Structure 1
Amino acid sequence: MGRKGRNAAESPRDTYEISSGRAELLRDTDRDGGWVLCVDGVPQSYVHLTDPTHLDFEYMRLLGDIVDSLGLEGEALDAVHIGGAGCTLPRYIAATRPGSRQVVLEPDAGLVRLVRERLPVKNVPGLRIRVVDGLAGIAALPDAADDLAVLDAFADAKVPAELVTAEFTADVARVLRPGGVYLMNIADGFRLMFARRVAATVGEVFPHALLMGDPGVLRGRRFGNLVLAGSRRPLPVAALGRLAAGGLARARLVEGADLTAFVAGGAPIRAAEGVDVPAPPPQLFGRG
């Protein structure tokens, strides 16, 4: 879930029925080859068909920065993506890390069909899409299969509650190799209680974690995206801190004692209890 491109809202809209609702493709009138994919009025992906290294949404740029900082530059990765939409990050990884093998787990068959037809992925080397939900898709993967797992899944503009539990996070950790990294895109706003609980959940499973996001969102002043990373091995905090301070996406990095303080009062999320996942305010995407 992200913000629309500057002129996407004014561009011609192509509307499609998908399994979970209604999808729209909006052409970026400022950048030839750019498209915004919306589901039920909420921007889900920005895809640039001729330049997959162009990441338009701020949270996606943060995810790209983290991926860039892992291992050796250009080194191929084995990755699993929980949630597909336009496959923006898989396209980026395929372009910047040739030889990577990636699988996208996307439960909406209609959305997958739309992406294959209008935002083609057949020319993205090493990429497969499976029509399956995140729980079943991760459960089917073998132990220590991947270097990277990415959660970027939304239903009804909210992160599915079953994908932020300690049990699911532990299953993701199972499929990661010892140095593997788990990345999550979540959204929260006032008081950030959901983000605190998700961070507590990640911190319970992974000994090393960090949080990145727009300073205003991290202060609870507005609703927006936050990126979490967890790993069994130390994360490249120094490099990411420099990128956050001077990158195109204005961001703040929280880790160590600051992350412990951020999490204070937030309990890990258990599958049996459920959790109140926040939805964006209607006016955020012009739906109000």
Structure 2
Amino acid sequence: MARRQRPPAAVRAPGGSHIVELAPDSARPGGRILSVDGVAQSYVDMADPTYLHFDYVRRMASVIDAAAPRRQPVRALHLGGGGFTLPRYLAATRPGSSQVVVERDVALLELVRRELPLPRGDLRVHLADAREAIEAEPAASYDLVLADIFQAAQMPEHVASAEFAAQVARVLHPDGLYTVNLTDLPPLVYSRVQATTLRTAFPDVCLIAGRAMLRGRRYGNVVLAAARKPGRLPVARLTTHALRDPVAGVVLHGEALDRFVAGTRPMHDPRTESLGPPQSEVD
């Protein structure tokens, strides 16, 4: 009788400004949970990179799937690496894709590279700040930009402003799409402000979230998607994906999004002469 193999033990990254830990999922042999400061950030299935455990990751992947057919290579820029869940998904579903991942946390990156080997293919990793990295990229160089950037459980202001959104729009191909993960709590003021902020740089924006989130019942994730061209967002396909998800979601677009963001103003970079009034407002 074959001896049962023990699951891998949890490992912790030495040093760094955060506590980064990688633990096995006892319910799924290939599953690994990456946590930062005790908060689960990424889930990676080393046996099946198309398995997406978290609902917000599935919503971001739905933007990829709705925008580009399977097996069609794309040029993607990932702002925030985490466990490289979406880069692995793209490499598996669209072989030949050219991907750049920007991650600033050295300890996290070293742990992931050591314990969760990255997929083969055209995948480059830059140790850098997302804002500085995107400002250095040439115009119209990507089909997709995906952002999942957090510092102390919040999206840093310098990657949440209208000026940053303009940089994202600049590096996208005219048919390109942008998707970003947010965390929010009722009454979703931050999500409303961020949708308004994206509208300063993109003519087509939608919001994807679970029903409980939109009803103001819980803290959680909200995903935004944006396109450089009016009417470019595949809203019908995104809606189908959202409805079929195990955690059924809703897509707000057009007039529905207008109502959702009514009274909000976009975030902007702090002005150097100002010492810090609020950078966004709700009337």
TM-score (norm. length: structure 1): 0.89
Would you identify which runs of 4 or more consecutive aligned residues in structure 1 move more than 4 Å? 273-276
SS of corresponding position for 2:13? strand
Matched residue type, 2:96: G
Give 1:274 deviation, angstroms.
5.2
State the number of aligned residues. 265
Distance in 1 (CA, whole Å) between partners of 2:265 and 2:89 is 34
* Residue 258 in structure 1 maps to residue 240 in structure 2: no
* TM-superposition CA deviations, 1:9-60 (whole Å, max 9, x none): xx95322234231111110111111100000011110011121000000100
Distance in 2 (CA, whole Å) between partners of 1:65 and 1:72 is 11
Give 1:181 deviation, angstroms.
0.4
Distance in 1 (CA, whole Å) between partners of 2:116 and 2:9 is 16
Matched residue type, 1:135: R
Q: How does 1:1-288 map to 2 (within 5 A)?
A: 13-121=10-118, 123-233=119-229, 234-272=232-270, 275=279
SS of corresponding position for 1:66? helix
Distance in 2 (CA, whole Å) between partners of 1:88 and 1:255 is 27
Distance in 1 (CA, whole Å) between partners of 2:221 and 2:78 is 17
Matched residue type, 2:69: L
Distance in 2 (CA, whole Å) between partners of 1:46 and 1:15 is 15
Matched residue type, 2:242: A
Distance in 1 (CA, whole Å) between partners of 2:38 and 2:252 is 31
Give 1:247 deviation, angstroms.
2.4
Alignment gaps of 5+ in structure 1: 1-10, 277-288
Q: Are the counterparts in 1 of residues 20 and 107 from structure 2 also a CA contact under 8 Å?
A: no
Distance in 1 (CA, whole Å) between partners of 2:233 and 2:15 is 38
Alignment gaps of 5+ in structure 2: 1-7, 271-276
* TM-superposition CA deviations, 1:156-215 (whole Å, max 9, x none): 111112111000010011000000001000011111111100000111210111100111
Distance of aligned partners of 1:43 and 1:275 in 2 relative to their CA distance in 1, 3 Å threshold: farther
The structure with more helix, counted as a fraction of residues: 1
Q: Which has the larger radius of gyration?
A: 2
